[in-house]
A and B are shown apart, each in its own frame.
Chain A
Amino acid sequence: AQKVTQAQTEISVVEKEDVTLDCVYETRDTTYYLFWYKQPPSGELVFLIRRNSFDEQNEISGRYSWNFQKSTSSFNFTITASQVVDSAVYFCALSLPGGYQKVTFGTGTKLQVIP
């Protein structure tokens, strides 16, 4: 079974600060996908990033970057120069390839960016 842990329940930062959201996952499968989703108060999930288990290259996409380390089973997500619009709940998630592609979500981290 898969498990995703987000130890940070709530984080508050002042606008323009950088913030890192932590995620640790568990799976016995060697092939898997990791995701970060944003859920604003409206409730609709917004896809942010995806990484497959064979690609540990860390990248930057605009103000977003991630640090994927298989050795520690971590997939941390960083927002640079945070903005008030970044305030939301962020979910880390994991899925397996193949026909049964259910997504296992972490417990979520509520981010509040204070102006």
Chain B
Amino acid sequence: GAVVSQHPSWVICKSGTSVKIECRSLDFQATTMFWYRQFPKQSLMLMATSNEGSKATYEQGVEKDKFLINHASLTLSTLTVTSAHPEDSSFYICSAPAQGRTDTQYFGPGTRLTVL
């Protein structure tokens, strides 16, 4: 079946550095992908919509200059957390709609980011 992968699964970085997280659709194409953030013991909140070949759409309150999204191909979207700080520590999850369907989303396994 369709699978969405994320890399890395976890990352620890120092404050001030940038971290890139990859989201790949493994056996289907995704012109749209979604990035969610989940703080400990909280729900998943949509951060942005990644659109292949065009600019990402960010949800209100999400800094687009801090969370850079690049959807360079039909199977890959990347989220770069620039100048990360401890408050950016979170669980980041991407998802992609199933090709040809409007009722199914495939979620990646998530990336746990810890900023020291």
Complex interface: chain A residues within 8 A of B43 (CB): 91, 105-108
Q: Which residue of B lies closest to A47 (CB)?
A: B107
Are A97 and B95 CB-contacts (below 8 A) given A43-B110, A45-B107, A105-B44?
A: no
Complex Cα–Cα for A112 and B105 (A): 27
Pairs A–B under 8 Å by Cβ, sample size 8: A42-B109, A43-B112, A50-B103, A52-B103, A100-B49, A101-B34, A101-B102, A103-B34
Residues on B lying within 8 angstroms of A by beta carbon are 32, 34, 38, 42-46, 49, 91, 93, 95, 97, 102-105, 107, 109-110, 112
Give how many A-B residue pairs fall within 8 Å (CB-CB).
52
B interface secondary structure, majority: strand
A interface secondary structure, majority: loop
Q: Which residue of A lies closest to B110 (CB)?
A: A43
Complex interface: chain A residues within 8 A of B97 (CB): 101
